[in-house]
Structure 1
Amino acid sequence: WGIPEGSSKREKIKHEVHLRSAQKLRDLCFKNGGIYIKLGQHLGQLEYLVPQEYVQTMRESMLNKCPVSSYEQICDVFKKEFGETPDKVFAEFDPVPIASASLAQVHVARTHDGQKVAVKVQHPHMTETAAADQATVELIVNTLHNFFPSFDY
């Protein structure tokens, strides 16, 4: 490549390329959501396998900044599952989630008998895309295994 192996210039360029690629991958994971965010979270734990730029980028963004479904979307999930909106199923239901993860989010609610509960609601797009997402992940994992035989997932 014309830049000596191990030189500081080569290391700087390699770092910049890895960082830019990690940021693009992060954005792609967020754009596709669900299982792709979960994969990004997993990459953030693979410091023994992937470059540090990927690990750091995924850890900084994937663990704390998951997308939140709107209250209207949550109501649609409830209608499909229970035939009612959350305010009918529960005596109280906080429309603002206390946490959101790659596949679901958590709301605080109170049952009709007064018990305070945490309600985990799957993001609405999950059921629609789950089969295709799983097939894509299997393809990626199998491809990685072909290139890196020691990669066994």
Structure 2
Amino acid sequence: MDRRRLLGIALALAGASTSLGAQAPGGGCTYDACALRREGVFFSQRILAGVDGRVVARQGFAGFRLDSALATSPRAMAEARIHRREAGVAGVLLLAGSVLGAVALIDASRDGVELSNTRATMLVAGAGMSLVGGWRAQIADRALNRALWWYNRDLPR
């Protein structure tokens, strides 16, 4: 590969990585232009920046990917890592608990109303997984709120 093509690819990658997140605090980025907030949108959420509401991130199965947006604030990054870890665990537990409970109910309805020990165990396990998943989702939610607060705190007014 020639030098010009390699330079062009490097510049394109550098430009793409900086344009994905919010602007860096202090680099001409004021609170009004770059402060991050979260908004709910029909069974989902997104992170918006500034007064104009520029979309910075959308919620995925394991929470938000905000590494590029929060890179300038170490404390915000630490909270964002907690958010990603806890949101991922919560998603898996909530999904597994729901599937386990649904399988137990479908199996019970197929054979009649009789609730065997196996079905009861599946229902209790599914409910327990969902309960722990909900608890972990709340931990992830609080970490995301703290990450946004730490980022916004460092912006010039």
Q: Work out whether the TM-score is over 0.5.
A: no
Q: Which has the larger radius of gyration?
A: 2
* TM-score, normalising length: structure 1: 0.29
More helix by percentage: 2
Larger RCO, structure (CA 8 Å, separation 6 or more): 2
